[in-house]
Structure 1
Amino acid sequence: MRLLQVLFCSLVLLGWGSIAWAEESNYQVGEGDVLRISVYQNPDLETTVRVSGDRTVLLPLLGNVSIKGLTVPQVSAKIAKLLSEGYIVNPQVNVFIAEFRSKKAVILGHVKNPGVYELAGPTTLLELISKAGGLTENAGDSAIIKGKKEGASETSRTIDIKALLEGGKLTENLSIQDGDNVYINKAGFCYVSGEVQRPGAYKIDNKTTVIKAITLAGGYTGKASRRSVNLVRIIDGEKKTLNSASLDTPVEDEDIIVVPESFF
């Protein structure tokens, strides 16, 4: 998986990094952004303006225009609508961001350099992970993105990193917004001992079963009993053997799988 992560992140950053910029339509214009605005065949209306703290811009003819919560295409559409109301017939307005403000996001958990990072324009989840030095060896398969609080509410979404890295599911590569908090979870591990080829700790996911864990440990030795397996799980702080466990039982974090020796 590590090689896949490196290759995929390289492709995203070098080859597909422009996707984030091509999808600038998803970026909400904010305080401090500098907008360059032009109106076709109306050079006197061309202006470069910085968005104020109350999310307004001062425009020729229109005065202060609120653009709070709007994306670049929405800003363009709003200005065109206002100009069409008594100023210009069918105005064609072009808006693009000449300079991005300093925005920040926090990434914590199992990345090599957790901390606060500035976002220079549209930034995807993978790009933020790259800024933080990449994933650690113990990183899990999911990330939690919590958005800025608006009033009493807070947005939260869980991202399947494994589907993004191994399956190329780019819909999971969300744009990171100003004030977002990203947490990369820790991978689960199980321990396989007894009559297996390579006893030890193994990384698991939500699809790992007892037989898959045994396979990760190299499979059975020649002396192994293939009819029974002992699964020890920590329940309420105590280690308990699950008598009902089978080879198809899903494995949980910190489970211990013991393959006994056959007596026949």
Structure 2
Amino acid sequence: MRLWLGTIMLVLALNFSCWAAPVDNVDYLVGEGDVLKVMVYDNPDLEITTRISGNGIIIFPLIGEIRIDGHNVAEVGQIISRKLAKGFINDPQVSVFVEEFRSQKTVIMGEVKVPGLYELSGPTSLMEVISTAGGLTVNAGDLVTIKRKNPSKPDSDKIISVNLKNLLEKKENEANLIIIDGDSVFVPRAGVFYVTGQVQKPAAYKLEQGTSVIKAITMAGGFTDLAAQRKVQIIRKVENEEVVLKKVPLHTPILAEDVIVVPESFF
């Protein structure tokens, strides 16, 4: 009985870890309104809790004003450490923590159950934002787009593409998937393709990145005994006209709205 319960708990833990990987606060970019706690090892008189001003500045003992907005938590610690090392403390060890996060917002649209504007409470991963929006719909595609403001080029947003399938399989670098203030997240509708003719389960199927003819036929249950396996056709729309591709190789990539036709063999 204990072994059975242990197995169930392990499965649940693995599933949860795919969706809610922890986000490290050291990567969080601080800004106006954040409340920071700063501690210097073996110097309790220098411990402060302070709110970042509208100019992105904090006031620190011995140093005075320090501009820190736009830096992450780890960088703030390094900035303070370097300044203290200039004639105040030998090899200062500085720790910085975010005590209170400022109000931040992101927009998520497309194939989530409750699209809209959401507040971010500190560092928030892409999967956490999707979960907050009710999760993905059954029609959601794999490739998510994040539009992010580019401080160095105000007229040109940075576009980040994320493959959700790779993310869940731990093939994406999660450190690059933190959603920040002002991000716009779009989950597109998945493309579909159709398989008809001599296959076990003719139907429409969700298009995944890298789907080939043989994978599509496998998704449709495989060939029937009557299938002409070397005469597979693809009906494809090209500039609003239908084009028939005959005797296509089984490794041919599938596009959205393709119709795969497996004819009957008469021999």
Q: Which position in structure 2 is the counterpart of 1:48? A: 49
Identical residues among aligned pairs (%): 48
Q: CA deviation at 1:186?
A: 2.3
Q: TM-score, normalised by structure 1?
A: 0.87
- The answer to whether the 8 A contact 2:232-2:247 is kept is no
Q: CA deviation at 1:45?
A: 2.5
Q: CA deviation at 1:9?
A: 5.8
Alignment of 1:28-177 (within 5 A): 28-150=29-151, 151-165=154-168, 167-172=169-174, 174-177=177-180
C-alpha distance after superposition, 1:207-228 (max 9, x if no partner): 2222221221122223322231
C-alpha distance after superposition, 1:132-159 (max 9, x if no partner): 1111111112111221232233222211
Name stretches of at least 5 consecutive residues in structure 1 with no aligned partner: 1-5
Shift of the 222–43 alpha-carbon distance from structure 1 to 2, 3 Å rule, reads: closer
Q: TM-score, normalised by structure 2?
A: 0.86
C-alpha distance after superposition, 1:175-225 (max 9, x if no partner): 111111122222221111122221110112232222221221122223322
Q: For residue 75 of structure 2, what is the amino acid of its counterpart? A: Q
Q: CA deviation at 1:63?
A: 2.3
Shift of the 7–249 alpha-carbon distance from structure 1 to 2, 3 Å rule, reads: farther
Q: Residue 226 in 1 paired to residue 226 in 2?
A: no
Name stretches of at least 5 consecutive residues in structure 2 with no aligned partner: 1-11
Q: Residue 24 in 1 paired to residue 30 in 2?
A: no
Q: For residue 185 of structure 1, what is the amino acid of its counterpart? A: P
Q: CA deviation at 1:96?
A: 0.9
- The answer to whether the 8 A contact 1:9-1:126 is kept is no
Q: CA deviation at 1:92?
A: 2.8
Shift of the 38–220 alpha-carbon distance from structure 1 to 2, 3 Å rule, reads: closer
Question: How much is the aligned-residue C-alpha RMSD, in angstroms?
Answer: 2.1
Please give the secondary structure, in 2, of the residue aligned with 1:139.
coil
- Find the aligned partners of 1:214 and 1:42 in 2 and give their Cα distance: 68
- Find the aligned partners of 2:84 and 2:212 in 1 and give their Cα distance: 63
Q: Which position in structure 2 is the counterpart of 1:182? A: 185
- Find the aligned partners of 2:103 and 2:18 in 1 and give their Cα distance: 23
Q: For residue 171 of structure 1, what is the amino acid of its counterpart? A: N
Q: Residue 200 in 1 paired to residue 206 in 2?
A: no
Please give the secondary structure, in 2, of the residue aligned with 1:25.
helix
